[in-house]
Structure 1
Amino acid sequence: MTARDTANDTDLHAFRAEVRAFVAAALPQAVRDKVRLGLEPGKAEVQAWQARLAQQGWLVPNWPTAWGGPGWSEEQRAVFHDELVLADAPESGGISIAMVGPILIRYGTPAQQQHFLPRIVNQEHWWCQGYSEPNAGSDLASLKTRAERRVNANGEEVYVVNGSKIWTSGAHHANWIFCLVRTDTGGRPQEGISCLLIDMQTPGVSVRPIRGIHGWSLFNQVFFDEVEVPVAHRVGEENAGWTIAKSLLEHERLNLARVAENRRRLAKVRQIGLQLHEAGVPLARRPWFQQRYRELEVRLEALAATVLRFRQQAQDGASLGPETGMLKLIGSTLIQDIENLAVDAIGPDSLACDRAAHVELPELAPGRSPYAPAASARRFVTRGYTIAGGSSEIQHEMLAKQVLGL
């Protein structure tokens, strides 16, 4: 190890300590407990937390300094993300900060950047992503939502949008949607897609929450009925949206290894193993539990090492290709297996009694795990992790063709 490497490690340790101290002081314990137990913080709680991050200058860690970013290295951003997750902080930014912001920074016009980016930072705009449709999920190129250029009654040139999007995360909280629409039906399907920024308060936009088997409404269907969108709200050239969509998905998949989240959830399972007993013996000492826990632990460390390798490549300026899909594959499967072990360990107590158990801190009977009320709901939520961001089947096919050359 060189002196420079040693200095970098020292700086990262100091930075990690700074982030850890800030979160410990700024994050309310009630919110921390909700996240730790697998409950859903309310929108107001998330907004308050994001406001604290903004005051610290840390809300948009992956943005350039010109737009409010802190100027961190790739390693610092990774440390920051890991520390927030491991400290049970709510997910901050999500689609607005991690997806829409970087797309506007890369592809947006100066006018779009000046209008939208500050409103993301001050939380005036909350975004959702309009990609999937009832008949266009993993095969995104087959989307049917149509946008036609017309001149409206005021003499303005607009796109008129008709169609619907489904599985739209957070649309019931959002007031803007980053939407893929079809602007040309000729040629290859990928060549006729454009990206529009749509105000969800526009007449003709409606949102229908989808209640999942777990009792939560995380997803929605969004309908567009003769919705007028200014041409100035198109990102990039007309019919060139596929390139933008792909760049966004590649960025998304790089973050879907969920290493820190897997660490937090595995720590939860360890606590469950120490809390609960089977035949008078702590679960953590039962062979069936030990075997499954150790297997998950080994898989997680192997994933963490692989992610570290990709991060180093990015830090060195190398481009990351379709091989990042394997991170998403491994991470999403691992998180499902961790939640399966949590439910199996808790047993019948994991059956939630009512919807309030998913959003309110529980009052528990003696001997019941505090993780029990949300355990089944959390397991059901993670079933979608091998679909969202590109299904496992599609990921396997992409890796086979584009990486292995099969």
Structure 2
Amino acid sequence: MSMRDAQDPGSFRAEVRAFISEALAETTREKVRLGLEPTRAEIQDWQQRLAERGWLVPHWPEEWRGCGWSPAQRAVFQEEMVANHAPETGGITFEMLGPILIRYGDEAQKRFFLPRILNLEDWWCQGYSEPNAGSDLASLKTSAVRETRDGREVYVVNGSKIWTSYAQYANWIFCLVRTDAQAKAQEGISFLLIDMATPGVSLRPIIGIHGWHLFNQVFLDDVAVPVENRVGAENGGWTIAKSLLEFERLNLARVAENRRRLAKVRAIGETVREAGQPLCQRPWFRQRYAALDVRLEALAATVMRFRLRAEAGHRLGPETGMLKLTGSTLIQDIENLAVDALGPDTLAYDRAAHFEPPAPVAGRSEYAPAASARRFVTRGYTIAGGSSEIQHEVLAKQVLGL
């Protein structure tokens, strides 16, 4: 992209659109359009095409193959990805861990891990929540005891992490562990990078009511982790965790995902009929759709404001929790409207339809097979990443001073 193109939003948008049209496999595009789940291979194929184009991590520093785009250009990029049904590309790896390593990692960690991420050698998952430490994350119990084994300093890790998204695909996990059991809750935690192939690491799938394998429980039994895989100071992991949550909460506003899903609802409104009219002409549908659209645009503008603050070097604080609150409830309301619009056709359950477009059925919308599962998936969005109740409490205390 030339400097002239960078200054011309229309030209840049056209460039992004043309790239997606040429590079994205049609089968993957169709799955995303219908709300189905792309396979790991399909996601990685798209990641590879983005990497070849130099657009895998546009938000990273240019030293690490970032694009040097403005927040406005990044917004255009995301808008075109959504509008043209490109799959999401791994927010935990590229949006969360990468920036943390760039900010807090030592030179050896950066030189080892960041090229592996950029070359698509590693898929990361997040080891934060535990069976008895979710919203109250500082109460985590997974322990890491420093020992010398075979002449090498290691942490011996024991415990369990839960609700670990896509751990079945991951080969590395970043974990919060307790390295000082006597310290105050937040002061005894460290941030470790753990190879999933290390002896003692195992996982158990958690299949949700929606039938998809999104989550897992990860078990860590006497797992030896080299001390050099600790990011930041020993017992200094809580600072990193809070910083990572800044990145996570911006992403958990789910602006791009909300746009994708609202576009699907718009398509439903144009193709499904009620009382002889398309739904988009029915007052009840039009009113609910318009309200969602307004909420989404307000959220997008607020996220952009926060991104501009981050771009200017300002630290983001606990107020980012309101983005997560707003985005997660909005996405639930969008999926509720989709199910209400499609009606009884969404009730039939077909797990295979989550992954491959089913054969057309006369009179049934092509969006119906995955609609209920999509709605059930979003029920967890007001829990994952910090429940809405906890977010309200944090905002009340730390932002409003109540």
TM-score bracket for the superposition, by shorter chain length: over 0.9
Quick one: which of 161, 169, 187 aligns to 2:157?
Answer: 161
- Per the alignment, residue 276 of structure 1 pairs with 272
TM-score, length-scaled by structure 2: 0.96
Moved more, 208-217 or 93-102: 93-102
- Per the alignment, residue 120 of structure 1 pairs with 117
- Per the alignment, residue 357 of structure 1 pairs with 353
Contact 2:71 2:304 (8 Å CA) reproduced: no
Matched residues in 2 for 1:270 and 1:78: separation?
21
Moved more, 117-126 or 344-353: 344-353
Contact 1:96 1:128 (8 Å CA) reproduced: yes
2:220 corresponds to 1:224: yes
**4+ residue runs of structure 1 moved beyond 4 angstroms?**
7-10
Counterpart of 1:307, as a letter, is: V
2:134 corresponds to 1:137: yes
Quick one: which of 51, 56, 61 aligns to 1:59?
Answer: 56
Matched residues in 2 for 1:361 and 1:313: separation?
42
1:346-373 superposed Cα distances (whole Å, 9 cap, x missing partner): 1111124321010001211111111111
Quick one: which of 264, 268, 291 aligns to 2:287?
Answer: 291
- Per the alignment, residue 91 of structure 2 pairs with 94
Moved more, 283-292 or 190-199: 283-292
Q: CA deviation at 1:115?
A: 0.9
2:82 corresponds to 1:85: yes
Moved more, 86-95 or 195-204: 86-95
Q: Tell me the percent identity.
A: 73
1:116-152 superposed Cα distances (whole Å, 9 cap, x missing partner): 1111111111100000000101110000000101122
Matched residues in 2 for 1:313 and 1:176: separation?
31
Contact 1:343 1:350 (8 Å CA) reproduced: yes
Contact 1:147 1:183 (8 Å CA) reproduced: yes
Q: CA deviation at 1:93?
A: 3.0
Structure 1, unaligned stretches of length 5 or more?
Answer: 1-6
2:394 corresponds to 1:398: yes
Quick one: which of 331, 334, 346 aligns to 1:335?
Answer: 331
Contact 2:5 2:11 (8 Å CA) reproduced: no
1:301-335 superposed Cα distances (whole Å, 9 cap, x missing partner): 22223223333333444433222211111111111
Counterpart of 1:37, as a letter, is: L
Contact 2:6 2:12 (8 Å CA) reproduced: no
Q: CA deviation at 1:400?
A: 1.0
Matched residues in 1 for 2:32 and 2:46: separation?
13
Gap change, CA 1:197 and 1:315, over 3 Å in 2: closer
Matched residues in 1 for 2:114 and 2:316: separation?
26
2:288 corresponds to 1:303: no
Matched residues in 1 for 2:135 and 2:203: separation?
22
1:52-99 superposed Cα distances (whole Å, 9 cap, x missing partner): 011011111121122222222222222222221222111113211111
2:191 corresponds to 1:201: no
Residues 247-258 of structure 1 aligned to structure 2 (within 5 Å): 247-258=243-254
- Per the alignment, residue 232 of structure 2 pairs with 236
Report SS of the residue matched to 1:81. helix
Report SS of the residue matched to 1:123. coil
Report SS of the residue matched to 1:218. strand
- Aligned residue pairs: how many? 399
Matched residues in 2 for 1:8 and 1:400: separation?
44
Structure 2, unaligned stretches of length 5 or more?
Answer: none
2:122 corresponds to 1:105: no
Moved more, 31-40 or 65-74: 65-74
Report SS of the residue matched to 1:99. helix
Matched residues in 2 for 1:121 and 1:352: separation?
41
Matched residues in 2 for 1:52 and 1:179: separation?
30
Counterpart of 1:144, as a letter, is: K
Matched residues in 1 for 2:64 and 2:48: separation?
16
Residues 69-84 of structure 1 aligned to structure 2 (within 5 Å): 69-84=66-81
Contact 1:75 1:311 (8 Å CA) reproduced: no
- Per the alignment, residue 3 of structure 1 pairs with none
Counterpart of 2:31, as a letter, is: K
Counterpart of 1:188, as a letter, is: K
Gap change, CA 1:233 and 1:311, over 3 Å in 2: closer
Q: CA deviation at 1:9?
A: 8.9
- Per the alignment, residue 65 of structure 2 pairs with 68
Matched residues in 2 for 1:89 and 1:9: separation?
22
Q: CA deviation at 1:36?
A: 1.1
Contact 1:151 1:157 (8 Å CA) reproduced: yes
Matched residues in 1 for 2:64 and 2:382: separation?
33
1:189-242 superposed Cα distances (whole Å, 9 cap, x missing partner): 000000111000111100111000000010000001111111111111100000
Counterpart of 1:203, as a letter, is: P
TM-score, length-scaled by structure 1: 0.95
Q: CA deviation at 1:10?
A: 4.8
- Per the alignment, residue 321 of structure 2 pairs with 325
Matched residues in 2 for 1:308 and 1:117: separation?
26
Q: CA deviation at 1:8?
A: 9.7
- Per the alignment, residue 26 of structure 2 pairs with 29
Contact 1:256 1:332 (8 Å CA) reproduced: yes
Counterpart of 1:77, as a letter, is: R
